[in-house]
Structure 1
Amino acid sequence: MTVTTMTPSRDTRVTPLGANLIDDVRAVVARGVSPERTVELVTEALRTYVTRPGLLTDEQTAGSADHYTQHVLHAEPDGSFSVVALVWLPGQRTPVHDHVSWCVTGVRQGSEQERRYALVPQGEKSRLVVTEEVTNPRGSVCGFAPPGDIHEVRNSGSDTAISVHVYGADVTRLGSSVRRVYEHPGAARA
């Protein structure tokens, strides 16, 4: 598999169902609860929408042979959250990375494989070890709040995978939700 980089596409045409999701996320974020509780509540909200017909436009499900594709559906004007659709053709993956904010992901189509890592001290340096391998099938929704969110995501299937991500940051200002990219550690396990 190849690691790919991508350039975000800003497609702010939101379907009526997408607008409902955005309203629900806005209501959760306005509560001002902890990042961990925000993840729980946004997970519940996204679960009700992720596989429903009409959430995305046809253009928002288009991928690229060169890299996985990020379609920014919404960035809240105050920077408090963004909603993004990611399209993964077979073999596309992220580098190993962590995030600047909490994130909730729901798989709309296909499945995504995720490898999670822990940063383990080793003398003056640290190393990454695999802690978990997860397959997220259609309809699954999961989330996290940093720290401890180091992972890579890939489409190792033979069909296109599409997921909807809600980030607790404005990805249009930042370019992505990635805080740091790590050197791939190989297959070391904890």
Structure 2
Amino acid sequence: MTATITATPALTGVTAAVRTALRTAADWNEAAHVVADALRPILPGPEILTPEQRLGDPSGPTGHLLHAEPDGSFSVTAVIWRPGQATGIHDHITWCVVGVLQGVEHEELFDEHLNRTGVSDNRPGEVSGFAPPGDIHRIVNTGTETAISMHVYGTDLSRVGSSARRYYESANAEK
């Protein structure tokens, strides 16, 4: 993940909304939902990134760290997905909120036995939140254009490096 701190008005609004929302959250699940609700009406567009950042990388999804809260309570990243790029099946170390800024992100959800339990195509403006346990998923850009999403994680990614707790492999995931 590239450490790029961007001080744009849109990002200032995002970080202020996250701080305010987290004051009311009693646990991770609630944090994911109140942050998602707070960001839905103010989700920025892809221009939160520079034109160069929006290009992505042909070798895989590219993340840009946009903000790490000084007290370690949350981070904001943007992820660029070129057509066909995907994550492995994974879960997370903390709660997460994802807002799609451009393109379509196809998400597959799995149970603890890696049986597929759901799919969704998340479009620009859609915001969702989740928290462990029950957060096993995979993201794929199944579209023909680059997809960009903003992720808010309940930890300081500049310290821990990644939000993924573990990656899974299973024949069940292909069913």
Question: Equivalences for 1:174-185 in 2 at 5 Å?
Answer: 174-185=160-171
Greater displacement, 82-91 / 133-142: 133-142
Partner of 2:58: 65
| 2:141 maps to 1:155 | yes
1:51, CA displacement in angstroms? 4.5
How high is the TM-score relative to the length of structure 1? Answer: 0.85
Structure 2 gap ranges (5+): none
Question: Equivalences for 1:29-178 in 2 at 5 Å?
Answer: 29-52=22-45, 54-120=47-113, 128-178=114-164
Structure 2 counterpart of 1:169, one-letter code = T
Query: SS of 1:119's equivalent?
Result: coil
1:61, CA displacement in angstroms? 2.1
CA distances 1:53-93 after superposition (whole Å, capped 9, x unpaired)? 75333344230111110000001111110000000000110
| 2:5 maps to 1:12 | yes
CA distance in 2, matches of 1:30, 1:97: 28
Percentage identity across paired residues of the two chains? 45
CA distances 1:108-153 after superposition (whole Å, capped 9, x unpaired)? 0000001100013xxxxxxx11001111111111110110100000
Do 2:46 and 2:148's aligned partners in 1 also have CA atoms closer than 8 Å? no
Query: SS of 2:21's equivalent?
Result: helix
Greater displacement, 31-40 / 110-119: 31-40
Larger Rg: 1
1:186, CA displacement in angstroms? 4.3
How high is the TM-score relative to the length of structure 2? Answer: 0.92
Distance 1:54 1:146, change over 3 A: same
Structure 1 gap ranges (5+): 1-7, 121-127
CA distance in 1, matches of 2:46, 2:63: 20
Matched residue count: 175
Of Structure 1 and Structure 2, the greater helix share is in: 2
CA distance in 1, matches of 2:3, 2:91: 22
Report the aligned-residue RMSD: 1.7
1:175, CA displacement in angstroms? 1.1
Of Structure 1 and Structure 2, the greater strand share is in: 1
